[in-house]
Chain A
Amino acid sequence: MSAKLARREHRTAWLFLAPLVLVMLTVAVWPLGRTVFFSFTDAYLDDPTVYGLVGISNFIEVINDPAWWSAVRNTLTFAVLSVGIETLLGLGIALLLNEAIPGRGLLRAAILVPWAIPVVVATKIWEWMLNDQFGVFNRILISLGLIDHGIAWTASSSLIMGVVIFIDVWMTTPFMVLLILAGLQTIPGEMMEAAEVDGIPAWKRFWSITLPLLKPAIGVAVLFRSLDAIRMFDLAYVLAASNQNVMTVSIYARDRLISFQELGVGSAASTWVFLLVALVAIILIGVLRLDRSTGD
């Protein structure tokens, strides 16, 4: 290709990229930049135009706050447990759906329903079902004779984290199933047949062939879900507002910013959240080696 032709192709490429770059600048880079900027000020939300620069004292205030560390602990507990359970469940269901069972198409569509329901709606539905007096969940447990009186699932400080994880698993396992199923369908059938004819037992076929070949698909799914889980706000907030037991880092930042009107400190907390998400993303990509192509 001549140099002139190459230059022209470059120009065209930039032309096509320009709208996207513009949108990214306005909706991502600009707000993020503003947030980072406010992190270094003592501004309040009622009048953001009045502020003074305070250096890194906001960042220090956040990491000296025990409530922040409690939120970090909650967030990581939630992320690890929910993503872990979703991955195992998703893998199991995907393996089932990948078999040629009758009604597979219908099942595949049906399993997506929980994912299609808005988080707020799903959370409210579960809140009612788990209600200590009117909830269908307690009613079933009582009629089965497992408990004498209704359990206040969403009010008990020891149970509420479990409830949040449970609802999240219910809602987002379909996403896992879908991504892992897509991965499963890229594994050639003849390869599994070859292993079958060679007398490889089913567990070894799964462990030594299916799982290694699924690793990239599972890795991407885990990455997506983990980043979602670490930013999680809506589910815990709708269910328990600012309950300390399930307060995530996002809720913490929102409380400082909106409830306490502290634009500076709230922005600093948001920046910490951003850094936390970035750190987890980098670690996951490194550990799962998603930057390198695996398999063939």
Chain B
Amino acid sequence: MASIALSSVTKAYGTHTVIRGVDLQIADGEFVVFVGPSGCGKSTLLRIVAGLVPASSGQVLIDGEDVTDVPASKRGVAFVFQSYALYPHMSVERNIGFALETLRIGKEAIRSKVETVARMLKVDHLLERRPRELSGGQRQRVAIGRALVREPEIFLFDEPLSNLDSDLRMEMRIEIARLHEDIKTTMVYVTHDQAEAMTLADRIVVLNQGSIEQVGTPLELYQAPANRFVAGFIGSPRMNFGPVPLGAEAGGFSLPDDLVAHHTSPGSRQPASIGIRPEALSLVAPDAGRMSGVLERVEDLGHEHFAYIRLADQSIWVVRVAGRPPFERRNQPVGLSFADADIFVFDSEGKRMAHRATVPQAGREASEGGLVHER
């Protein structure tokens, strides 16, 4: 097991910069997930940790030791690829045990290690098969087994579940979480799927355009996003955003007076936009809400509904409704209601400003679900 530290890591291909000065500490035994939109540099960053891609500048430390110039083969890390990257001409048994063949530990020792790992991953009945005879989920188990058998210091996963269908993805997600609980090895996991990030991670690293937007526990990112990007990226459906103030004439609402007063205190930044999560909104009668609009569409997901509301400024807000929504007719006027505590306020640079519920007031945060964190 080992800790990882990245210090001012950059990567550029010619004039195209993909990683812009990343600093990150990953503790021994931690499960860290890199998440971000495609092209944000998350896979490149993982490859830099593995040594498959050399950093343009900066340092990579594993267990306090500078490994920036150490080749991938000597870093003691294991890498699981999205494409599985199994050797097609070898049996499952040889695929898993291949890395052990160079260790001179004898055929019997290799076989017993392979069998132990295969049993753990429930592929022990497939040892004689070739990769092409396996299903996607089985292939991914073999790929994980190949990494596991080496008892690496660090596990790196590059979108390992992206090629699987959704049922299997959920099943494998739980198994990876259990694997981490069992072996407690440091794991770094790259995904674009925020559900995977939220459920697996001890800490999530949100990347955007080669820079870290925020690092925090899943709950921190959800409840106290540092900026509009993180607020929009974490949570599904994504947060609704609107300009400040949403004037009454726009069919919207005005910020509560005390909130405005708080934010316009001398020297502070001016609020530029607000965000409210779909699950914090509720549908009410047109005149009973703090905002109003017309119902554009309702999506029925069985256990919940997504209602799409067109506001007067033509923007669409999503409302998550548990159970049946009170309104279902298209173009029907509806009202939206929400609590002040659920309003996220952002300044003109997109940075989140502490809203009322987060102003330190002993005993209040927990009851209203707000958070004090301002990172």
* A interface residues, Cβ below 8 angstroms from B: 188, 190-191, 193-201, 204, 208-209, 212-213, 294-296
Contacts and interface: CB of A to CB of B under 8 A. Distances in A.
Interface of B: 50-52, 71-75, 77-79, 81, 83, 85-89, 98-99, 101-102, 130-132, 146-147, 150
Contacts of A198: 73, 78, 98-99, 146-147, 150
A193 B101 CA distance: 17
A213 B73 contact: no
Contact of B101 (A190, A194, A204, A212): A204
Contact of B102 (A200, A209, A294): A200
Nearest to A190: B85
Contacts of B98: 195, 198, 200, 208
A294 B89 contact: yes
Given A193-B52, A194-B79, A200-B102, A212 B89 contact: yes
Contacts of B83: 188, 190
Contacts, number: 66
A198 B149 CA distance: 10
Given A191-B85, A208-B98, A295-B88, A200 B73 contact: yes
Nearest to A205: B73
Given A190-B81, A296-B130, A197 B88 contact: no
A234 to B, nearest CB: 39
A100 to B, nearest CB: 12
25 contacts: A190-B85, A191-B87, A193-B79, A194-B81, A197-B72, A197-B73, A197-B78, A198-B99, A198-B146, A198-B147, A198-B150, A199-B73, A199-B99, A199-B102, A199-B150, A200-B98, A200-B102, A201-B73, A204-B102, A208-B87, A208-B98, A209-B87, A295-B88, A296-B88, A296-B130
A190 B81 CA distance: 7
Contacts of A294: 89
A295 B88 CA distance: 6
Contacts of B88: 213, 295-296
Contacts of A195: 87, 98
B77 A197 contact: yes
B53 to A, nearest CB: 10
A191 B132 CA distance: 15
Nearest to A211: B89
Nearest to A187: B88
